[in-house]
Structure 1
Amino acid sequence: MHTVPQTPWLYPEERAGVIGQMLEWGLLKFDNGRGLPVKSGGLTDVYVNERDARDNSEAIDYLARLYESPLRQLGVSRFVEVPDSVSCFAGPLSMLTGLPYLTIREQAKEGRVTKAKVIGHPSSGDEVVIMDDVITDGASKIAPYTECLEMGLNVKAP
């Protein structure tokens, strides 16, 4: 059985390099005046915007490789991506780890053939982890977390 690590998953020596790359690619924004708007209507001084990695295949590869080791350490059987935040590197991450993944939308897409709220085919009892690019109160994970529980999935590190 795998446990959820309680330590940072990047070595201290790696952090500056990761921050530098994310700044270079425009995936990390700073404003000392706390003027960056967030979805909840509030303002922040630091904004992580991994979804914009779509513009840069090097950034997609880099982010997928960053998440590979901690995802393996969790020992899950699949991961759940919160669209649209990590959608751009969910596929590459799946290929690197050999893990399948689920996409869970807040609402089903009406007027579509599948109308799927959940994309993928999990089995009850699967251990999963929810991946999102938001570092706030976790509100964007409530709907996917609830959906996972309803499907009988065991969510690690919710």
Structure 2
Amino acid sequence: MRTQLSAAVGAVALTAGALLGAPAAGAQATDYPTNSFRVEVGNTWTDGKLTWYNRSVLVEGTHKSVSSAGKAYCRLTWGRTYDASRALVGTRGSDPGDMACGTTRSFSFVVPADIVGGAQLVRICLDDGNYNDLLCAPYRRP
């Protein structure tokens, strides 16, 4: 009888411990790391947030152009992803409809990084309206 009682008490303690250690039903999955970026050329810029997923990087932000005198004065934002060895993995940029010409515009795009572990580095570039890189800056995965 004493053995059965000990076994019953032990089973209740194990069950309670398992329930207390379990995550809540509504718990969030692991958050993805984020960091901010800013690239400036004169009085034009691109800035925003990078969200690092397992096989891509989400780039969200705004870019600014101060003149609409022609495509050379417009601004676009591009991103290129790299692996840990700094080998290029993918390229992607803001949609041409997001081009800023004499204004400030929002953009959001995903840069693919279809490798195990995802991208370890992304280069964010501020381009003119002719897709010429004006300045690029590297950002490491946090």
The reply to whether TM is greater than 0.5 is no
TM-score with structure 2 setting the length: 0.22
Higher helix share: 1
TM-score with structure 1 setting the length: 0.21
Higher strand share: 2
Structure number with greater CO (CA < 8 Å, separation at least 6) is 2
